[in-house]
Amino acid sequence: HDLNLASTYADRIAVLDRGQLAAAGPREQVCQGELLSQVFGVRLETRWDKEVGHPYVIARPTELEAPAR
């Protein structure tokens, strides 16, 4: 359930959405912010770690979750 841990050690990743396969394949294809945001219902952004050579995921606040100013 830890996307960053899976991306670090797995060559291929499967993502389930309510028990149904939403995506499966190489981590570079599956770890896409738009896909993961739809599946998990939160705003996620994918970046590339050039040092280790794999993607990583960052959660971003939505307008409702943004801190008040």
Least confident of 10-14, 45-49, 59-63: 59-63
This prediction has a pTM of 0.75
Q: Is the pLDDT of residue 64 over 60?
A: no
Joined together, the tokens standing for residue 44 give: 């996620």
Say if CB 30 and CB 13 are below 8 A apart.
yes
Looking at residue 68, what is its pLDDT?
Answer: 56
Percent of the chain with pLDDT over 70: 90
Say if CB 49 and CB 42 are below 8 A apart.
no
Say if CB 60 and CB 43 are below 8 A apart.
yes
Give the SS3 label for residue 61.
Answer: coil
Average pLDDT of the chain is 88
